[in-house]
Amino acid sequence: MRPPRLTRRVLLRGSAAGLAAAAVSGCAAERRTAPQPPDPQVVLLRELVADKERTVALYDRAARADADLVPFLRRHQAHLAELRRRLPPPPTPTPGATPGRTPTPARPSPGKVTPAALRDRERASAAARADQVRSAAPALAQLLASIGACEAAHAAALSRSL
């Protein structure tokens, strides 16, 4: 049996098919490796969670010395739980990928936490919520407004106790 003839037409068709396949696979690979910009709402949520973790750590230390601060601590823990609930699950690692380091929240320095320091923290947090509400999606903006109102109430209550 004679091998099939290799004509110029067969060769051109094969080359065109090969180039098309290479172009399509190159585009698909390019799309997969292009980094996606972070979702601004997720970035905001992560910042809020880190801030709340620092506040909870402060109140936890302060409440050990003053049981009257436990209700404040509990409210901040509830805020933190709700903010964490809204975070999307972490992406699943791709096979062979090196896992990234999970940042640990900054802990306040050791020492006594005064009611004045807590009041100042509450005031600063409540003031920050007004700016954060502007860039948040409606549901998150409602939550931030509620959290900010609670922080403002905490600041007022701490001012009265000084």
Once rounded to an integer, what is the mean pLDDT over residues 4-29?
A: 62
Mean pLDDT of the chain: 84
Q: Which of 143, 131, 120 is nearest to 49 (CA)?
A: 143
Alpha helix (H) residue ranges in 87-137: 115-135
Kindly tell me the burial class for residue 28, based on how many C-beta atoms sit within 10 Å of its own C-beta (0-12, 13-18, 19 or more): exposed
Calpha distance 61→72 (Å, rounded): 12
- Please report the sign of the dihedral spanned by the C-alpha atoms of residue 104, residue 109, residue 114, residue 120: negative
Q: What's the predicted TM-score (pTM) here?
A: 0.70
Is the pLDDT confidence value at 80 over 90?
yes
Radius of gyration of the chain (CA): 28
